[in-house]
A = this chain, B = another copy of it.
Amino acid sequence: MASSLLSRQLVLSLQQNLRLTAPGCRYVSKAAAKTQMEFEYDGPSMKTEVPGPRSKELTKQLGEIQNVGAINFFCNYEESRGNYLVDVDGNRMLDVYTQISSIPIGYPSEFPMFTSFSSQSAFVNRPALGIMPPENFPEKLAESLLSVAPSGMSRVQTMACGSCSNENAYKAMFIWYRNKERGHNIPSDEDVSSCMINQSPGCPDFSILSFMGGFHGRTMGCLATTHSKAIHKLDVPSFDWPIAPFPKLKYPLEEFTRENAQEEARCLEEVEDLIVQWRQKGRPVAGIVIEPIQAEGGDNHATPDFFKKLRNIAHKHGSAFHVDEVQTGGGATGKFWAHEHWGMDDPADIVSFSKKMLTGGFYHKDELQADKAYRIFNTWMGDPSKNLFLAEVLNVIRRENLLEEVTRSGKTLLQGLYQLQDQYPNLLSSARGQGTFCAIDIRDDATRNSILLKARDKGVLLGGCGDRSIRFRPALVFKEYHVHMFLNVFSDVLAEHN
């Protein structure tokens, strides 16, 4: 089985890497040298409804400590393998949601790297990376994040999560914009004194232009650019920043090129109008932030032409262009970064990431680097242990040609969705996707939610997005036979809803 090969090779890769390169490595234990008996299950296996009794019991326990309204069920991660997530009631599900799109190569079980002394150190001794990084930090950054840096970018800053990544990317854009406006980077006395009390000019009235339907995180700066669901934003103070319409396209894109081009032109015109309006309001647009595919907001696509023109508008008006690849990055679209589908040498000024990258952070062009120390800073600045994992994950992606695999599986998945859509025209519409990063619209919200639950009871784990879409977010090890397995179950569930 292909995925069992994968797991063995991952183990071998880790062993080799740690034996040969880890500085200060004292021993490799027998556990590390042992060939792991890795396997993947041959299909879903359901023992109870989901959540089952044990999950319900644990949810009640956790309810004494936290809000558990979003808890689906509890997991047995020790028994989860490859594309299969096992819950605490022994239900084994084909995972097409992967922890909100955050598991890159499926559920690995035993990593032998922990038995090596130097790797343990990375987990136990968490350094303040901005002041006292470990010796192997530059090397591990080069081996992991920089080895997949977007075109035109050789600088990267790690952060602990997706929201922190975007918050700090916004700060980098504000600092850059203000220095450009000043013509130099020396703040006035008035800048220094006014910023301490949150006032302009030290805290200038700059804005970030975002798009309706976009999702960029939930901390207060990010949240001011998030416009996917009211529940995320309700009751939280925000900034008066411009919000442009994201194109509402018809799918498949290639069948509606003329209408879609008109819709994209309308949105781009609005973007430019907003930039001018907000400049006139004294809140100039320091940066534009956008997802290559609006994920949380409903898997809304736009064409490469739209993004190229948007990039040009940003340049024309002196705004930075920030591509948020927190959900799209890491290979699921069939390219490592979704923006690679645009075919541009200079796609962005900033690209942020998290989820499948295991660490948060952002790449940026040289000029977007903060000009002074302690401006983009916090205690941890990420977690170096995550860089170790990422380096190994990237090795597996390369060795196993997983991006090709994703492209292949994605084609099969999308073809299957098209067929089901033809078969159930009153139920399904707008099948769309890049790689395995696919989605389909369901008749209405209630039917969508019913389909999600029914699929889960049949052993396939899916997630919703937008008002009435289902998003498909398998790991990169989702093969064509997993696609067929999924399509069979999905087809059965749809038949029940027709």
For A197, the chain B residues whose CB sits under 8 A away are 227, 243
**When the two chains form their complex, are residues A130 and B70 in contact, meaning their CB atoms are under 8 A apart?**
yes
A231: which B residues are within 8 A, CB to CB?
A: 372, 374-375
Does the CB pair B121–A109 fall under 8 Å?
Answer: yes
Known: A164-B219, A219-B220, A379-B99. A237 touches B174 (CB 8 A): yes
Cα of A69 to Cα of B369 in the assembled complex, Å:
12
A100 cross-chain contacts in B, Cβ below 8 A: 128, 131, 379
Does A256 have its Cβ within 8 Å of any Cβ on chain B?
A: no
Instruction: Bits for A366-407, please: 1 = Cβ < 8 Å to B, else 0.
Output: 000110111111111001010001000000000000000000
Report whether B154 and A65 are in contact in the complex, using a CB–CB cutoff of 8 Å.
yes
Interface segment, one of A74-82, A265-273, A337-345, A479-487: A74-82
How far, in whole Å, are A376 and B74 apart by their CA atoms in the complex? 19
- Complex Cα distance A132/B80, Å? 13
Q: Is A133 an interface residue (CB 8 A)?
A: yes
Selecting from A23-31, A426-434, A439-447, the interface stretch reads A23-31
Tell me which residues across on chain B come within 8 A of A191, comparing CB atoms: 230, 234-235
A107 interface residue per 8 A CB criterion: yes
In the complex, A290 has a CB within 8 A of chain B: no
Within 8 A of B (CB), among A27-59: 27, 29-31, 54, 58
Instruction: State in angstroms the CA–CA spacing of A207 and B198 once bound together.
Output: 12
Interfacial chain B residues near A380, Cβ < 8 Å = 102, 161
A355 to B123 alpha-carbon distance, docked (Å): 15
Q: Are B178 and A235 in contact (CB under 8 A)?
A: yes
Residues of B within 8 A of A167 (CB): 163, 218-220
Q: A67 to B203, Cβ gap below 8 A?
A: no
Contact of A115 among B79, B114, B124 (CB under 8 A): B114
CB distance from A79 to the nearest CB of B (A): 7
CA distance A141 to B61 in the complex (A): 11
Please tell me if A171 contacts chain B, counting CB pairs below 8 Å. Answer: yes
Docked complex Cα distance between A372 and B192 (Å): 41
Considering the chains assembled together, what is the distance between the CA atoms of A219 and B171 in angstroms? 9
Q: Which one, B27, B142, B233, B239, contacts A196 given CB within 8 A?
A: B233
B239, A237: Cβ atoms closer than 8 Å: yes
- In the complex where A161-B378, A220-B220 touch, is A58 in contact with B135 (Cβ < 8 A)? yes
Is residue A421 within 8 Å, beta carbon to beta carbon, of the partner chain?
no
A125 & B108 in contact (Cβ 8 Å cutoff): yes
Contact call B133/A71, Cβ cutoff below 8 A: yes
Give, as a whole number of angstroms, the nearest-CB distance from A234 to chain B: 5
Say if the beta carbon of A276 comes within 8 Å of chain B.
no
Q: Does A163 lie within 8 Å of B164, measured CB to CB?
A: yes
| Cα of A362 to Cα of B385 in the assembled complex, Å | 24
- Nearest CB of chain B from residue A405's CB, rounded to whole Å: 21
Q: A138 near B: Cβ within 8 Å?
A: yes
Instruction: Give Cα distance in the complex from A69 to B111, angstroms.
Output: 35
- 25 A-B contacts (beta carbon < 8 Å): A29-B29, A30-B30, A31-B115, A58-B138, A65-B141, A65-B156, A70-B373, A71-B131, A74-B137, A76-B135, A77-B134, A78-B117, A99-B126, A102-B128, A107-B125, A109-B121, A161-B378, A163-B378, A167-B218, A175-B234, A198-B239, A203-B233, A218-B378, A220-B221, A229-B374
Since A109-B124, A174-B237 are in contact, a sample of 14 more A-B pairs with Cβ atoms closer than 8 Å, ordered by chain A residue number, is A58-B135, A66-B157, A75-B132, A77-B122, A77-B125, A85-B132, A99-B127, A102-B126, A187-B235, A193-B230, A196-B227, A202-B235, A203-B237, A231-B374
Q: Which 5 A-B pairs have the closest CB atoms?
A: A69-B373, A220-B221, A114-B114, A198-B238, A203-B238
